[in-house]
Amino acid sequence: MIGRRGYFLPVLITVLIFSLLIFTGCVMSVSEGFAIYLTDGDIPPTQIEGLGNVKIADRPVISMRDIITYNAQTHEMKLTPTAFERISLLDVPVQGKTFIVCVDKRPIYSGAFWTPISSMSFDGVTIWKPFNSQEPKIITLELGYPSSTFYGGEDPRNNAEVLNVLQHAGKLITGFSITSVAQLPHSMSGYELYSWMEDGQWRFTLMTGTDRDKTLVEIISREDFISEAGWEEIHVLGIDGLKVVFNKLPKGEEVYWLARPRAVEQVPENIIFGLPSGQDNITIKKYATQYGVNLKTLTP
């Protein structure tokens, strides 16, 4: 015969283990954090009028564990290879595919996956469908399609609750500096370089090449915008600062050095656009050659 102590001890252990499993399961399921869901029933982006009655799919298309980093400045998400492939294989029609950004399954704002072959514009937040072979494995929460000029309303991407849960999970980064990136991305249209004398010092701005004229505010701004996969806007003081930038460009990258902005705007009196002359000019070209930069001077 088993004594009372011998009978109750195994039962007590079993109850404790069972309780622990239930408690652990509850704790693990409390918070999902940041996630992006498709809609239940695949509601078209043009039919999303509010989030109150929108039902999300059973599982997220992007979960917290799929995200390596989220850049708060550029709103770029670096994904795991598996998650990136999932998004690249997503069936996205030309009119877009609705997604809902959630915190703990609670909708925060909506947007749409969009295909770059679409000729239709969109005035909301978008994620452009990437190519599977794309490197790095990054998708971006953009404003509007095909450009931000089509976007209307306030920017919901800086929602404090979203950024807080990403930070708490150790996923959030606040941006990059030119010294913190290993290399700047290749630009299909090259880069544009602007130089000017301001208060007795040479300043330089390197920007991703585009077919539009850069504004004076963009050029003389002191705030860097460094993307791992897209737009670059880098401001440095002095020739030594420009040397650091050249060192971060891919070998053979084309850089078009403009003597002055293309856009006709009133320039402050303390700013004189131009190209350094004499030894300064020689030194800059030497640095370009040293780091394999194809520097092309464009003068009016």
Q: Which residue has the tokens 């005035």?
A: 123
| Token output for 65 | 């564990």
Rounded to an integer, the average pLDDT of 267-291 is: 94
What per-residue confidence (pLDDT) applies to 167?
96
- 113-172 residue pLDDT tens: 999 999 999 999 999 999 888 888 999 999 999 988 899 889 999 999 999 999 999 999
Rounded to an integer, the average pLDDT of 270-277 is: 93
Q: Is the pLDDT of residue 24 over 80?
A: no
Q: Is the pLDDT of residue 197 over 90?
A: yes
What per-residue confidence (pLDDT) applies to 26?
38
Question: Could you tell me the pTM of the whole model?
Answer: 0.76
Other C-beta atoms within 10 Å of 280: how many?
14
Q: Is the pLDDT of residue 210 over 50?
A: yes
What per-residue confidence (pLDDT) applies to 300?
65
What per-residue confidence (pLDDT) applies to 31?
81
Average pLDDT over the chain, rounded to an integer: 88
Output phi, psi for 131, to 5 deg: -85, 140
What per-residue confidence (pLDDT) applies to 231?
86
Q: Considering just the CA atoms, what is the radius of gyration of the chain in Å?
A: 26
How far apart (Å, rounded) are the C-alpha atoms in residues 207 and 194?
Answer: 8
What per-residue confidence (pLDDT) applies to 13?
46
- 62-116 residue pLDDT tens: 999 999 999 999 999 999 999 999 999 999 999 999 999 999 999 999 999 999 9
Query: β-pairing, 191-198 with 271-273?
Result: antiparallel
